């Protein structure tokens, strides 16, 4: 039985191109000025210290910015980077610079699952702040009322099974009663080792080689819910 759903964002609820063609370039362009402007804020100072701990040395403001930009170019899932990206994106959403993209099939299914009494949680490498911003500013309006909670890299790496055990414990459901949706096989493999049910989203592809031992769906309409 499925009593809770845990879903990835990029490539699952949201187009990969939106992340790489809109969000990442916006953060790269605006992050340096954002840090310089807010460098005295306590939250920013803490994140700068986190960067120092990550690289194990004291960096100047400019060196910290250069390190962040390097991590962005390498698509690193580093928590202080993801947190700062979320802060920059918040400014972008509030300035109406863009709206969060979700596939057309996502909103009606979020509502359907909520009506079925199945809570839906988000697990993404993007910060929780960035997740909330995306779903609060979509072409379909604010979708956050359909979401029960959010998890990011502070819960662990998405390709390690301990992360999924941590989430299961926090939402208080046995792993066997949770369905995890993702377009990344390694993430699904990790979740399945805990006993979670899994479904591979294969949007925009007909590559049969990407259909291994996980149930597959082309969109949320095809996701099967065992009750």
Per-residue pLDDT, averaged over 44-70, amounts to: 96
Would you state the pLDDT for residue 213?
85
205 confidence band (pLDDT: 50, 70, 90): low
Question: What is the mean pLDDT of the segment spanning 105-126?
Answer: 97
Q: How far out from the chain centre does Cα 11 lie?
A: 10
C-alpha distance from residue 15 to each of 20, 22, 111, 186, 225 (Å): 9, 11, 20, 19, 23
The beta strands (E) that lie in the chain are given as: 4-7, 120-123, 149-151, 178-182, 197-201, 216-217
- Report yes or no: 115 and 71 within 8 Å, Cβ to Cβ: no
Kindly list the structural domains of the chain, giving each domain's residue range(s) and its CATH number in brackets, ordered by start.
4-15+101-222 (3.40.50.1000), 19-94 (1.10.720)
> What is the reported pLDDT for 115?
97
Question: Model confidence over 129-155: pLDDT tens digits?
Answer: 889 999 999 999 999 999 999 999 899
Please determine, for residue 209, whether its predicted confidence score (pLDDT) is greater than 70.
no
Give the HSE-up count for residue 223: Cα atoms under 13 Å, Cβ half-sphere.
29
Contacts of 177 (CB under 8 A, 6+ apart): 1, 2, 3, 4
Mean pLDDT of 32-43: 95
β-pair partners for 200: 182, 216
> Mean pLDDT for the chain?
93
pLDDT band, very low/low/confident/very high, at 208 (cuts 50, 70, 90):
very low
pTM: 0.84
Q: Which of 9, 13, 12, 29 is nearest to 21 (CA)?
A: 29
pLDDT score recorded for residue 212: 67
| 33, 39 contact by CB (below 8 A) | no
| Residue 176 scores a pLDDT above 90 | yes
């Amino acid at each position: 039985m499925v009593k809770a759903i845990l879903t990835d964002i990029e490539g699952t609820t949201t187009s990969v191109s939106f992340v790489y063609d809109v969000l990442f370039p916006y953060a790269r362009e605006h992050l340096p000025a954002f840090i310089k402007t807010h460098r005295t804020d306590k939250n920013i100072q803490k994140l700068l210290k986190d960067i120092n701990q990550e690289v194990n040395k004291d960096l100047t403001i400019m060196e910290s910015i250069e390190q962040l930009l390097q991590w962005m170019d390498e698509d690193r899932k580093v928590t202080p980077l993801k947190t700062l990206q979320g802060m920059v994106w918040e400014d972008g959403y509030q300035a109406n610079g863009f709206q969060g993209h979700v596939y057309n099939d996502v909103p009606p299914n979020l509502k359907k699952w909520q009506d079925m009494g199945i809570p839906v949680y988000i697990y993404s490498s993007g910060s929780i702040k960035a997740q909330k911003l995306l779903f609060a500013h979509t072409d379909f309006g604010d979708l956050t009322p359909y979401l029960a909670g959010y998890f990011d890299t502070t819960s662990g790496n998405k390709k390690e099974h301990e992360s999924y055990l941590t989430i299961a414990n926090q939402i208080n459901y046995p792993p066997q009663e949770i369905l995890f949706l993702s377009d990344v096989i390694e993430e699904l493999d990790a979740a399945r080792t805990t006993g979670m049910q899994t479904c591979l989203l294969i949007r925009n592809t007909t590559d049969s080689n990407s259909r291994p031992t996980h149930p597959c769906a082309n969109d949320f309409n095809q996701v099967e819910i065992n009750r």
